[in-house]
Amino acid sequence: MSDIVRIGLAGLGVVGGGVLKLLEQQHGLLHSRTGRRLKTVAVSARERTKNRTADISSLKWYDNPLDLAGDADVDVVCELIGGADGVALELSQAALQGGKHLVTANKALLAHHGNALAHMAEDAGVNLGYEAAVAGGIPIIKALREGLAANKFSGVYGILNGTCNYILTEMRDGVRAGTPRDFDTVLKEAQELGYAEADPSTDVDGIDAAHKLALLTSLVFGCPVDFDAVQIEGIRHINPLDIQYAEELGYRVKLLGVSRASSAGIEQSVHPCMVPERTAIAHVDGVLNAVVSDLADIARGLVVPVFGVPVSALEARPKAPPGSHVGSYYIRLMVVDRPGVIADIAACLRDQEVSVESLLQHGRRPDEAVPVVLTTHVAEEDALARALAAMDELQAVLETPRMIRIVNLS
């Protein structure tokens, strides 16, 4: 085994540039901890002459990142380009087919092509590292794949997107300060501060979190990655009123990725949820990925199954059908405040055998729109959806009813 692990970096953006700089600054420490030298020998990016924090003048430069896969002097390809398809996929396939280790921070790539890439890595006897693809500041992949390998899991949940968490935290802070700000206002501020992309849809519509959840589900349950099985809802419809009522009811609104085994099958969902204020996750507020951790494992000669077990041992599990989730719910309605409205709403719930736990309505403004908030006892989501559809047909209901799951994390 050579004393040097030679690295080819594809993509020199924030993550790639940070990895390159970290490898330079911590070369001595990494050598002492792994017994081998981690050395970047080649790079590829869109612009060669762009000013960067790390010096690349002594490194091989490739205009075409696919050339990294064909370079005999490269042992490990770091794919830090992004995107589920295109050159990121082509480079990953070429690297594994060429017998090179692959390290990526690309959760979209793995959520859509992880099963096939895992097959390729296993056939080639090389490592596919993706610690940075999920919760980059926390070694969750290593913990699940290695540290907790003997454990049997009933589920996994977490806050998987920093942009959404920042937006919801800022909305809550505004409500608490008496200066509520709506989603669009906070999103614009987040974009100006660099916390949200110019096109934020992947984040705020829950897609990014769903990519990560699909990978965690495979690790936790030993099943193939199945992104299409994730039920996804983003945070665009969250209103300051929802944040306010959540506070009053003892909850905080968080976008959670939740995967659990139920009698109906494996349930994967990304939804805004109300979590009890007393729980630790309710207090996770605000906003270098772990690429180097994967490189250190490769330097140590560690090659482990991509999803915890050999690809041939991944077992297809039944998927919980949409609407089969059973739980409690928060419902907000904007209604014309006149006699009989509450009775009509209650009838919609009664007809679907959904029981009300609590009802909030502050003050009266006859013939004006007022918010009415209900929480339910445990019910099937399909039944609740039918009740909400019936409410939406009521003349006194002026806006589409809004529902948020209430999650019991005990």
Contacts of 295 (CB under 8 A, 6+ apart): 5, 7, 23, 30, 38, 76, 78, 103, 129
Q: To the nearest 10°, report the CA torsion of 393, 396, 400, 405.
A: -100
Q: What is the CATH number of the domain that holds 39?
A: 3.40.50.720
Residue 212 lies in a domain: yes
Q: What is the CATH number of the domain that holds 381?
A: 3.30.70.260
Contacts of 45 (CB under 8 A, 6+ apart): 10, 11, 12, 13, 16
My answer on whether 130 and 165 are in the same domain is no
| Structural domains counted in the chain | 3
For residue 116, the enclosing domain spans 4-141+290-308
My answer on whether 117 and 55 are in the same domain is yes
Give CA–CA dist 111/158, Å, rounded. Answer: 17
My answer on whether 27 and 69 are in the same domain is yes
Which of 86, 143, 93 has the alpha carbon at shortest distance from 114? 93
pLDDT, tens digit (0-9, with 9 covering 90-100), for 254-288: 999 999 988 888 999 999 999 998 888 888 776 54
My answer on whether 11 and 83 are in the same domain is yes
Confidence label for 97 from pLDDT (cuts 50, 70 and 90): very high
Considering the entire predicted model, what is its pTM?
0.86
For strands 326-336 and 402-406, give the pairing. Answer: antiparallel
**Phi, psi values for residue 124, rounded to 5°:** -85, -10
My answer on whether 198 and 126 are in the same domain is no
Give CA–CA dist 166/284, Å, rounded. Answer: 10
Give CA–CA dist 49/222, Å, rounded. Answer: 45
My answer on whether 121 and 235 are in the same domain is no
Residue 342 lies in a domain: yes
pLDDT, tens digit (0-9, with 9 covering 90-100), for 359-396: 988 766 666 788 999 999 999 999 999 999 999 999 99
My answer on whether 176 and 235 are in the same domain is yes
Residue 100 lies in a domain: yes
My answer on whether 169 and 133 are in the same domain is no
Which entry of 107, 142, 212, 254 is annotated as an active-site residue?
A: 212
Residue 397 lies in a domain: yes
My answer on whether 112 and 198 are in the same domain is no
My answer on whether 298 and 271 are in the same domain is no
Q: What is the CATH number of the domain that holds 192?
A: 3.30.360.10
Question: Does residue 39 have an active-site annotation?
Answer: no
My answer on whether 383 and 400 are in the same domain is yes
Distances (CA, A) of 255 to 157, 213, 215, 273, 390: 10, 12, 17, 6, 27
pLDDT, tens digit (0-9, with 9 covering 90-100), for 125-143: 999 998 888 766 566 777 7
pLDDT, tens digit (0-9, with 9 covering 90-100), for 216-235: 999 888 899 999 999 999 99
